[in-house]
Amino acid sequence: MSELNSKIPVTIITGFLGSGKTTLLNRILNGNSGRRIAVMVNDFGEINIDSQLVVSAQQNMISLANGCICCTVENDLIEQLHNLLTLREGPPEFILIETSGVSDPMKVAHTLKYPQFRDKLSIDSIIAMLDAEQFSQLIGEQEQVAMCQLAAADIVIINKTDLAEKEQIIELKKQWLFPKARAFETAFADIPLELLLGLEHEKHQQTLTSELNGLVTCVDAQCDHTEHQHDKLFSTFSWESNKALSLPKLRRVLKELPNTIYRAKGIVYLDCVKDQSCIVHLVGTRINIEKGPDWKGKKPSSQLVMIAWDKLNKANLTKALETCIA
Amino acid sequence: MNDKSINYPSSHAGIKQGKADKILFNGKIYTVNEQQPWVEAIAIKNGLIIALGHLKSMDEHIDQQTILIDLEGKFAMPGIYDMHTHPDLALAPGYAGYLDVGLDNPTPDDVKNAILSYADENPGDGWIYGQYYVQFTFKKEGLEMGREWLDNIISDRPVAILDRSWGTIMVNSEALRLANIDKNTPDPNNGYIERDSITNIPTGILVDGGYALIHAAMPPTPMHALKRAYRECIIYQTGRGVVGTKYVHVCEHRLNAMKAIDDAGEMTLRVEAAISWQDDIFPVKRRWELISGERHFYRSDRLNANAVKFHFDGTHGVKSSYLATPYEGDTSWRGSLNMTPEHLNDMLIDMDRKGIRVIAHCTGDAASDLFLDAIENARKEGYNRMRHQCAHSTVLLDQNLARFKQLNVTAEFSPVGWYPYPFANARAEANGSERAKRLYNFKGVLDAGGIAVVGTDWPVSNINPWIGFEAMITRMNPDKNDDSKFHGEAISLEQAIRVMTINGAWCMGIEDKAGSLEVGKSADLIVLDRDLFEIEIRGNIHNTHVELTFLEGELVWDRQGKFNESKFKAIWHNEIPNFYDGME
């Protein structure tokens, strides 16, 4: 997966003021994910970094001891992305971009696909956070902005569920969520980092289960997150085949996956691209299949790993994927 | 006016016999001529001023045909000049009759029905172009946006629909075919063509700069829309006392629209049209024909296309203005240029030789530095024919202030951004504190003996020229609720009047025959509802009403319709177009 890995994954986080974006970003910046993450925010106003972590601070860029960087987008995303890509200590391993509460995340996503960036950056996902209680009261321009944010989102985080009535959440889902939308409900912006950052690196994939157990935090606010049984919450599924797959069939099956599957990753052997491997990257409703490296004498085969936030019917999944065989 | 029956005067023909055609008297007329700054009466013949002074000294100019017009003690001055504006961009798209779904949150079915009924009402194989669709509503219904969805509605004629956030356009296969967009088409730099990730075939979604590819394939903005846009703007400007203007960025279609207005005798101000050097706003298919001589076919005493306009740098908002030192907070980024300095050098010499004025969009202080360098090079090589124009001049280097006079270049300040309001404040912020002091430096250019002029750059700032006029003298918001002052220094009322009048004429190369009220010059004057020298400036110039506008001695605007019953009834009277809410 070297070609895909040479691009820096970028996750865009969108949501209105008060939806919990800053709480989440503060946790990432002050935590220890083991990765050099650059967090781009609109301004430092709400950002709260443990001063002991600060290694250096320039006008619009703060470097932290855990390898993270926090910088402001100011009004030129393009220039600030250039700055991050040309850092003296090397580019970050992961970029998180917070979009302001009133802006359209699609504009940021479009910028990342411009010719000058698309070989260096890849969109991992767009995540929309919404405040369960506030979201039912949007009108006029706010409603239009909410539409932009949700239209762009691959995963929807419904936050502050502790403050909302059950009926409110049901109504919110009915009014706002798409048929295949991946919606994760939580309180206190308590989101598993792997949901956000994915499993781009092979080392993470090899130790998938243990990583999950180590990193995943719980939606239960009373839980201390240490010795907790997470198997109930997350499950993984993997599938292999050495027969060539049909691209349209594979796309259809991936599109129809259960809503609980929020990430899938893998290499596939397609009948329309026989000489090269193809790489599948699925986050929520984002499905991307791209050409990867040549097989180089290796026997072509497909390997897919999927992660869900609930139990999976593995037999059904296997059956569905087998229909993709050309 | 190209009316064939018109009486064109020449050395041995066409000079009318008799005395003055009109005498305006009982005015407080400020002439902008230092030798004779104030007069009470002006005698006009054949559109020219033949005498200024007191009515009682004008007996020798009066015969039975002379019309005497009493100005009733009102203040008058030379007509004013707006040296950079875009009526076509401001108005024509709205007049073009494109598809408008017209709903707040249209569903895919709403969009489909709108396309089908537009096709019924506009049969044939022409483009169906318009707005808008909403991505959310497609996703909510689990539909894929793109050419396949559109092809299922209409496949035999091109369809292009903008999305609500205007970041993308969705087109059908026929539109892609006509625009020559296929899997091998390279992406434009400021956008991209969305493609299937495996086959590379375009999906029919084009992002940002990607839709310029569609616009280039579409027919130009319809003539009726262009004509209406220019005509309404001309009425508006005439009603505000503008006698000379520049419509910056034109193509052959825009010139055709202007010529139709001129031919109808409705061009009630002088227009210099600048041909676009680049295709970044709209394609100019006959650019080289126009520049090599076709432009002369549009020429009259009211209209010329002896100018070109290009975007040398970008804008401060996206940090593409080209600056002498990096942007604040950046270590190296200075902005960017849209063409090389060498390209500019060669084109400047070529245009100067042809008698074409070069109007260069230079918002950053290094862009204007390079522009002035290019002119200096051309001057050294003996190319001294044209007075070129540094457009916008948002921020200038102090070292360049004297070069405007030395090199015979106009410093054009636009859009009106020299008083505190969100647009201007954003420019100041993008420039940073050191550069903010140098923003819109009228005083610097004038003190160094140079010529400064104003452009509204409509629709970037308001088309009403009196707002910028007042703010030049106050550097404050005409709205009295805000007492803050904008960066930079103000100029005096007398200086501001020169900027709005004689300097405009200079910028159009007609200062020897217009721009001030002197014997032998064109009788271009305006009568106001207030005396600019008697009022408190703050809050009282921006809302000035022009009662009468005379161009070449002809009454072209009469606000009260006072002369509607006379034989010199104004061509425009009583009503001025109102283009948007809250416009003074």
Residue A320, amino acid = A
pLDDT single digits (tens) B3-31:
456 778 888 887 777 799 999 999 999 99
Q: Which of A114, A138, A104, A121 is nearest to A38 (CA)?
A: A121
Residue A145 has pLDDT above 80, yes or no: yes
pLDDT of residue A51: 80
CA–CA separation, B229 and B85 (whole Å): 12
pLDDT of residue A223: 42
Q: Which ipTM score applies to this complex? A: 0.76
The burial class, CB within 10 Å (0-12 / 13-18 / 19+), for A110 is buried
Residue A3 has pLDDT above 60, yes or no: no
Nearest to A151 among B136, B191, B333 (CB): B136
- With contacts defined as CB-CB under 8 Å, which chain B residues touch A272? 198-199
- With contacts defined as CB-CB under 8 Å, which chain B residues touch A178? 139-140, 142
Residue A213 has pLDDT above 70, yes or no: no
pLDDT single digits (tens) A67-110:
888 888 766 788 788 888 888 888 899 999 988 766 678 888 88
* Highest-confidence segment of A132-146, A312-326, B189-203: A312-326
Q: Which of B73, B77, B63 is nearest to B25 (CA)?
A: B73
Q: Residue B10 has which token pair?
A: 């020449």
Confidence of residue A211 (pLDDT cuts 50, 70, 90): very low
Size (chain B), residues = 584
Alpha-carbon distance A250 to nearest alpha carbon in chain B (angstroms):
13
Confidence of residue A163 (pLDDT cuts 50, 70, 90): confident
Residue A219 has pLDDT above 50, yes or no: no
Q: Which stretch of DSSP H or E encloses residue B236? A: helix B223-239
Residue A62 has pLDDT above 50, yes or no: yes
Q: What is the mean pLDDT of residues A289-298?
A: 90
**Neighbouring-strand partners of residue B452:** B411
DSSP string, A104-169: -HHHHHHHHTSTTTTTTEEEEEEEEEEETTGGGG--HHHHHHHHHHHHH-SEEEEE-GGGS-HHHH
pLDDT of residue B138: 92
The answer to whether the CB atoms of A110 and B168 lie below 8 A apart is: yes
pLDDT of residue A319: 95
Residue B12, amino acid = H
CA contacts within 13 A on the Cβ side of A283: 23
Q: Residue B298 has which token pair?
A: 């549009």
The answer to whether the CB atoms of B191 and A289 lie below 8 A apart is: no
The answer to whether the CB atoms of B329 and A290 lie below 8 A apart is: no
pLDDT of residue B19: 92
Contact status of A288 with chain B (Cβ, < 8 Å): yes
Q: Which of B291, B410, B310 is nearest to B360 (CA)?
A: B310
pLDDT single digits (tens) A257-292:
998 898 898 999 999 998 999 999 999 888 999 999
Identify the segments of chain B with pLDDT beneath 50.
1-3, 582-584
Nearest to B430 among A59, A75, A291 (CB): A75
Alpha-carbon distance B431 to nearest alpha carbon in chain A (angstroms):
12
Alpha-carbon distance B138 to nearest alpha carbon in chain A (angstroms):
8
pLDDT single digits (tens) A17-57:
788 888 888 888 888 777 889 998 877 777 787 888 888 88
Helices and strands (H, E) in chain A, number of each type: 11, 14
Placement of tokens 């200096």 in the chain: B376
A96 neighbors A25 (Cβ within 8 angstroms): yes
Average pLDDT, chain A: 81
**Radius of gyration of the CA atoms of chain A, in A:** 20
The answer to whether the CB atoms of A151 and B189 lie below 8 A apart is: no
Residue A2 has pLDDT above 90, yes or no: no
